[in-house]
Amino acid sequence: VLDGISTTLETDREDGRKTTLAITGAQSDVRPAGFHRGGQGPDVVFAAGSFLRGDERDRFLDLSAEQTGISSDQVHFTACTLRIAPMEVKITETLSREIGRFLADAAPGRRGLQREEAHHRKRDLHKTPPSPGTKLTVDSLTIESLEASLWLRLFLPESDFLPRALRGAIEVLGFGTQLLVVDGAKVRMGRQELGRQPGRR
């Protein structure tokens, strides 16, 4: 669920543009198979911005991008800045089961293509490579500091999406525990500047 999406576009006389995108709030729920709205509410996996603090001024996402060199085959951004508000992430056993189910469904089966199917696929192949698409160039990207609070509750024997070695290491370090619990751990990442910076070579 996204709340309060707004965009602006400014164009100057030098064939340049500045685009901004703002999202007031964001929230993601997990609704497993058999979920009914009349029963217990869904598990909230992710919340930020207005859904977390109830204040529309503390927006979930602010993105600004300065663009030059506008053409049909190239999009050139000279500078992009991204700011994301503090967020909460909650990983539960329900989410763990849904991830495991998704990975099981997404895994390819053992059956390959039959001879007739392979023949039809061969006829549809392009003889020449397709023409190149639009080129995207970003000179510099600035990501403001990120902060998240993490809640985690996993029953390790059923968390098949985690590598077996990692689950075994957690059980050893936890003196045989099969339940991994994290309550409100703070995760922070400092300001990051990627790409070419003005005045540097």
Cα–Cα–Cα angle for 80, 51, 89, rounded to 5 degrees:
75
Write down the H helix ranges in the chain. Answer: 50-53, 93-106, 115-124, 164-173
Question: How much is the average pLDDT of 196-201?
Answer: 50
SS3 state at 127: coil
pLDDT score of 199 more than 50: no
Query: Which residue has 């400014």 as its token pair?
Result: 10
> What's the pLDDT score for residue 93?
78
Question: How much is the average pLDDT of 91-102?
Answer: 78
| 95 band by pLDDT with thresholds 50, 70 and 90 | confident
| 117 band by pLDDT with thresholds 50, 70 and 90 | confident
Predicted model pTM: 0.63
Q: For 136, how many CA atoms within 13 A lie in the half-sphere containing its CB?
A: 5
